[in-house]
């Protein structure tokens, strides 16, 4: 895991409306047993779907480690999962093994693509672009956002409509590098970069977003609940901050003042000039630190400089500096 290099991105676009074409894929889940079976494969509570229409969740293995994150969505009466393209194979392999006698059919959609609009004016942008009927409420970086499902043949034309509507309210489009940096600055970890098959949900700060402890049984639940009840994690994901520009190498380790390794950085971003929360040119990173150092205000060294723990990802007091509420 890890994201090398740093890049600036248009902070203002994320305050209003940022349009990004994801590489996510849509997996349809059909059959009489679709909902009950899917509930047994995912960490979050699907009973909330009737109200929310889209819920962030995780697929984990029997050991409680993360195979993929996903948005489970309800469109009319049909269930579907939106998965990162890189994690589709691993997730589907696990799903296929756990369809025994259930009436469940999985179909990876070859045509649908997902464009996301994030920011305070995301709903207005989707409506002004005439695409509300294709949109689902999916807040990927904060409290407001929508995903728009589009057939491949209509993708370019529809994206241009979304971009025009976003620019009309002070937003804009964003490319992959900017999207990656936005995740770091918002303290929202990415699957395959900041967490993956070596990670428990609680380590990555995903418990409150993606895990329910009030639902029925699911694959990996025993391990996750045991970890929660034990109450002690060996490491936690944090946001670090340092002055100046820092380019993250493929493997950058964190050390305590005595030079002992206490963690690893996974991704980094430079704060843009128009972001008011943090001085421009400050580098923010996501990193796993051993428990004694995973506290706000703690100091570590990485690369050639000192870093301070800015926040613990997923903590109750954490605020998202990207998307206006």
| pLDDT for residue 110 is more than 60 | yes
Q: Are residues 220 and 145 in the same domain?
A: no
Q: How confident is the model at residue 207 (pLDDT cuts 50, 70, 90)?
A: very high
Strand partners, 261: 255
The neighbouring-strand residues paired with 159 are: none
Reply yes or no on whether the pLDDT at 90 is more than 80: yes
**Same domain for 155 and 272?**
no
CA–CA dist 322, 325 (Å, integer): 9
| CA–CA dist 74, 293 (Å, integer) | 41
Length of the chain: 325
Query: Looking at residue 321, what is its pLDDT?
Result: 40
> Does residue 113 lie within any of the structural domains?
yes
Distance CA 37, CA 146 (A): 26
Structure tokens at 281: 């040119």
Average pLDDT over residues 122-131: 98
pLDDT tens string 130-179: 999 999 999 999 779 999 999 999 999 999 999 999 999 999 999 998 89
Give the span between the Cα atoms of 265 and 75, in whole angstroms.
38
Nearest alpha carbon to residue 60 among 263, 214, 234, 204: 204
Q: Into how many domains does the chain fold?
A: 2
Same domain, 157 and 221: no
pLDDT in tens, 30-66: 999 999 999 999 999 999 999 999 999 999 999 999 9
Instruction: Work out the average pLDDT over 116-124.
Output: 95
- Residue 21, sorted as left (phi over 0), alpha (psi -120 to 50) or beta, turns out to be beta
pLDDT at 236: 97
Domain boundary among 149, 180, 211: 180
Among 180, 205, 238, which residue terminates a domain? Answer: 180
CA distance 107 to 27: 6
Phi, psi of 313 (to 5 degrees): -65, 130
175 shares its domain with 195? no
User: Do 228 and 97 belong together in one domain?
Assistant: no
Residue 5 lies in a domain: no
80 and 160 inside one domain: yes
d(CA 323, CA 325): 6
The chain-wide mean pLDDT, for the chain, equals: 90
> Within a 13 Å sphere around the CA of 209, how many CA atoms are in the beta-carbon half?
26
Contact, 296 vs 319, CB < 8 A?
A: no
**Same domain, residue pair 154 and 228:** no
For 42, which DSSP code? B
Residue identified by tokens 């699957």 is 191
Q: Is 80 exceeded by the pLDDT of residue 318?
A: no
User: Is 325 part of any domain?
Assistant: no
- State yes or no: pLDDT of 277 exceeds 50: yes
Residue 262 confidence class, pLDDT cut points 50, 70, 90:
very high
| 229 and 265 both lie in a single domain | yes
Helix or strand holding residue 90 (H, E): helix 88-97
Q: Which of 147, 180, 213 is the last residue in one of the domains?
A: 180
What's the CATH code of the domain at 81?
A: 3.30.1360.120
DSSP output for 125-175:
HHHHTT-GGGEEE--SSSS-EEEEEEEGGGHHHHHHHHHHHHHHTT-EE--
Residues 221, 139, single domain; the answer is: no
Question: What pTM value is reported for the model?
Answer: 0.91
Query: Is the same domain home to 131 and 270?
Result: no
Domain containing 263: what range? 188-312
């Amino acid at each position: 895991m890890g994201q090398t290099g740093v890049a600036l991105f248009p902070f203002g676009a994320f305050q209003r409306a940022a349009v990004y074409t994801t590489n996510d894929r849509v997996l349809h889940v059909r059959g009489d047993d679709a909902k009950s079976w899917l509930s047994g494969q995912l960490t979050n509570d699907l009973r909330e779907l009737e109200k929310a229409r889209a819920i962030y969740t995780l697929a984990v293995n029997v050991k409680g480690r993360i195979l993929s994150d996903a948005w489970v969505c309800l469109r009319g009466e049909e269930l579907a999962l939106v998965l990162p393209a890189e994690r589709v194979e691993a997730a589907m392999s696990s799903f296929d093994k756990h369809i025994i006698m259930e009436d469940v059919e999985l179909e990876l959609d070859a045509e649908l693509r997902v464009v996301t609009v994030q920011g305070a004016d995301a709903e207005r942008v989707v409506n002004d672009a005439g695409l509300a009927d294709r949109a689902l409420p999916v807040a990927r970086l904060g409290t407001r956002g929508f995903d728009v499902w589009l057939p491949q043949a209509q993708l370019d034309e529809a994206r241009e409509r979304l971009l025009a509507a976003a620019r009309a309210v002070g937003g804009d489009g964003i490319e992959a590098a900017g999207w990656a940096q936005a995740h770091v600055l918002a303290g929202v970890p990415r699957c395959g970069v900041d967490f993956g098959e070596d990670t428990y949900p609680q380590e990555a700060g995903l418990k409150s977003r993606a895990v329910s402890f009030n639902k029925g049984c699911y694959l990996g639940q025993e391990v996750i609940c045991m970890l929660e009840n034990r109450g002690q994690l060996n490491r936690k994901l944090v946001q670090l901050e340092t002055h100046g520009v820092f380019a993250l190498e493929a493997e950058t380790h964190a050390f305590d003042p005595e030079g002992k390794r206490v963690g690893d950085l996974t991704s980094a971003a430079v704060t843009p000039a128009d972001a008011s929360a943090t001085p421009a040119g400050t580098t923010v990173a996501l990193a796993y630190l051993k428990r004694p150092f995973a506290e706000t205000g703690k100091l570590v060294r990485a690369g050639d400089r000192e870093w301070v723990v800015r926040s613990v990802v997923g903590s109750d007091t954490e605020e998202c500096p990207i998307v206006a509420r």
